[in-house]
Amino acid sequence: MSAGDLYPALLEIATRRVIEPVIGAPYLTVAQWLRAFERWPDEGRRAWQERRLEDVLASAAASVPFYRSLLGRGRRLQLRDLPVVDKALIRGDMLSFRAERRGRRSYVQKATAGTTGDPWRYELDRRAWAHVYGAQLRAWERVGYRYGDRIVVLGTPPSLVPGARSLTARLRAAAERRSYAAAGIAIDPGESARRVGHAYEARGVLWYGYAGMVAAMAEAARPGSWTSQGPAAIVTTSEPLLPEWRRRIERAFGAPVVDEYGCNDGGVLAVSCPGGRFHVAENVSLVEILDGEAPCPPGVEGDVVVTNLHAEVLPFLRYRVGDRAALGDGPCPCGRPGLTLERLGGRIGDRLKLPDGRELQFSTFGPIFWQTPSVRRWQIVQSVRERVKVRLDVDPAFSRAEADEVRRGMVARVGHGVEVDVVTSEPIERTPAGKQKVLISSVR
């Protein structure tokens, strides 16, 4: 066994014997169990989910006031009878949604980073956290990562940067040999080039970061100027990965990109596959795609509604997470079984609302920029229905022909009733946490 193999082997033993019992969350045990779980027949995985669902429903019925109030005399809660809830509803009435009986050791205090402008503190069962993190570790294992390999964290993705900065979280981050490459949100060429240098020097097996930040690194990288080996894979997260970003990143760093979709509150994790879909982590939650309260057929976009299979302190039952997606139709071309999402539609509200009543989501506009090689990134801003502005961050080689191409592409999609401005002089707006939203509409 070489020295390179030794550390992961030791960390695995230490994690199973010491770290997991101390923090009360068997995340590595879950990750390893998933290797077998994923090979179970469909009925077996369904039955396992049903048993977990019965447990969380029984727990909610017994000690969560909101759900107890829905119980008829002597009846059990049924998932399909439960109302769809969301963050605003729960946050506005935490006393009704929290379990009255909860052991202080059984949950962790979580906070969303407020990337969508509405930060939130909430309780998450340690077991629920272990299942999300375990599913993440298992997904990374598929692309060549082994627990204990070095991870380079690019920027400040909320799911990997210990938000609470608790001692155990920091110790675990150190044990996992995470290297934080120039945290912060600036993505100018100088900062991006420094980040590339750091990432190569850290010799991470996995790079993990915001899609837009990694795309900016790909632009700033000078291929061939690095002597150390690049990553086995690059995991992008937290913002929509544009097709042109994926191509640029893979070309610049010679490693496959795996796109991760997840949200901590509610609990859902889905990871992209070579078949072009997202595989949902079935050990974490049940996922429904709904139009109002009605299920959408495969291929039709609707609201992502999740039921966490482990959250009992603050149950997330039929919880609308605020994202849009469509279910995959039939088995995935990659051959892996299980529930898939065909595409992700971005945050609810991130759509242009046109005078004729149509609403267009960001992915509609992606193809416009396939023919404009000098456009580094774009952002569409709408303040009134009749007018949209396209902000472009461009190379010096950007030409009038490309600007015309963008304008034509926009008009073809939004129609002639909408005025289109194409500007290269305004900075691309980012959220306080550094996410780039490709589409910002203040039209309600």
Distance between first and last Cα of the chain: 61
Shortest Cβ distance from residue 253 to Zn ion (Å)?
23
Kindly indicate which of the ranges 167-175, 204-212, 293-301, 326-334 contains the residues binding Zn ion, using the contact rule CB under 5 A: 326-334
Site for Zn ion in 36-65 (CB under 5 A): none
CA 293 to CA 278: how far, in whole Å?
A: 23
The type of residue at 163 is: G
- Give the residue from 267, 199, 263 showing the smallest Cα distance to 233: 199
* DSSP reduced 3-state for 209: strand
406 binds Zn ion (CB under 5 A): no
| Sheet with 387-394, edge to edge strand ranges | 419-423, 387-394, 375-384, 439-441
Among 47, 94, 164, 334, binds Zn ion (CB under 5 A): 334
Q: Which is nearer to Zn ion, 45 or 277 (CB)?
A: 277
Q: Which is nearer to Zn ion, 217 or 257 (CB)?
A: 257
Shortest Cβ distance from residue 336 to Zn ion (Å)?
5
Q: Which is nearer to Zn ion, 4 or 330 (CB)?
A: 330
Shortest Cβ distance from residue 142 to Zn ion (Å)?
11
Shortest Cβ distance from residue 302 to Zn ion (Å)?
21
Q: Which is nearer to Zn ion, 138 or 277 (CB)?
A: 277
Please give the C-alpha separations between residue 271 and each of 139, 238, 260, 316, in angstroms, as whole numbers: 7, 12, 5, 21
Please give the backbone phi and psi of residue 372, each rounded to the nearest 5 degrees, phi first: -125, 80
Shortest Cβ distance from residue 307 to Zn ion (Å)?
23
Site for Zn ion in 249-308 (CB under 5 A): 273, 275, 277
22 binds Zn ion (CB under 5 A): no
Strand partners, 120: 112
Shortest Cβ distance from residue 289 to Zn ion (Å)?
17
Q: Tell me, by CB under 5 A, how many residues bind Zn ion.
A: 6
Strand partners, 420: 388
**3-state helix, strand and coil shares in percent for the chain, rounded to the nearest 5:** 35, 25, 40
Shortest Cβ distance from residue 41 to Zn ion (Å)?
18
Q: How many CB atoms lie within 10 A of CB 381?
A: 20
Strand partners, 295: 290
Q: Which is nearer to Zn ion, 332 or 352 (CB)?
A: 332
Q: Which is nearer to Zn ion, 273 or 354 (CB)?
A: 273
329 binds Zn ion (CB under 5 A): no
Kindly indicate which of the ranges 95-103, 128-136, 184-192, 327-335 contains the residues binding Zn ion, using the contact rule CB under 5 A: 327-335
Please give the C-alpha separations between residue 389 and each of 17, 249, 357, 420, in angstroms, as whole numbers: 56, 27, 19, 6
CA 378 to CA 212: how far, in whole Å?
A: 11
Q: Which is nearer to Zn ion, 45 or 320 (CB)?
A: 45
341 binds Zn ion (CB under 5 A): no
Site for Zn ion in 113-172 (CB under 5 A): none
Q: Under the rule (CB under 5 A), what is the footprint of Zn ion?
A: 273, 275, 277, 332, 334, 336
